[in-house]
Amino acid sequence: MNLILPGFLTGLSLIVAIGAQNAFVLRQGLLRKHVLVIVLICAISDATLIALGVLGLGALISALPWLLEVIRWVGVAFLVWYGSTSLRRFMKNESLKAAESGSGNLKQTVLTTLALTFLNPHVYLDTVIFIGGIANQFGDQKWYFAIGAVTASFIWFFSLGFGASKASELVSKPTFWKILDVFIAAVMYSLAITLAVAKLN
């Protein structure tokens, strides 16, 4: 049981960093659009990947570097596309319309959430290899560490998604949405560049 807190803190430290997935959850939380579905997908995906890491999938992925390379370049392409979409909303003054009408139907939202989750190779490094690798150092107690990390994921995504909706005054201002779109575009482009030049070993 003493391993739950270290697992929680490790998981939280990896999840809280600003990234494409968190930026998307934040935007949808502010829109109050499909929030429950999004946070459940993000948290359950993390839980699944952490469990696979504890079960030893991390060792398999480490042995197949080409797999992370494929994920990396597909991820770069997706991040550039998503960043361009946000920038296009900013350039065409569509931010307020997006704020009023919501962002995409349920199917589009689910697909975008899954893409932002699984097309980021660092999610595999963080959950499957890093957390899974640490957990496996504790032998029979490894699942307690994993439970702590999974708990951090659920708390973070639910707090981010549903906590964002409290900012109702900001949501009503067109300027806020333009700034948010520029911020999201900057995050997506910077992550795309980072992935493109990074060596994932």
Taking only the tens of pLDDT, the chain with its 201 residues reads: 678 988 898 888 778 766 788 888 988 888 888 999 999 999 999 999 999 988 887 677 667 777 767 777 887 887 788 788 878 877 775 544 444 445 568 999 999 999 999 988 878 878 888 888 788 777 788 899 899 999 999 999 999 899 887 765 665 566 776 787 788 788 778 867 877 886 655
Boundaries of every domain in the chain: 4-197
Q: Tell me the C-alpha distance between 192 and 65, whole Å.
A: 19
Q: How far is CA 165 from CA 19, 78, 169, in A?
A: 19, 26, 10
What is the spatial distance between Cα 84 and Cα 98, in angstroms, rounded to a whole number?
15
Classified as helix, coil or strand, 18 is coil
pTM of the model: 0.73
DSSP 152-195: HHHHHHHHHHHHHTT-HHHHT-HHHHHHHHHHHHHHHHHHHHHH
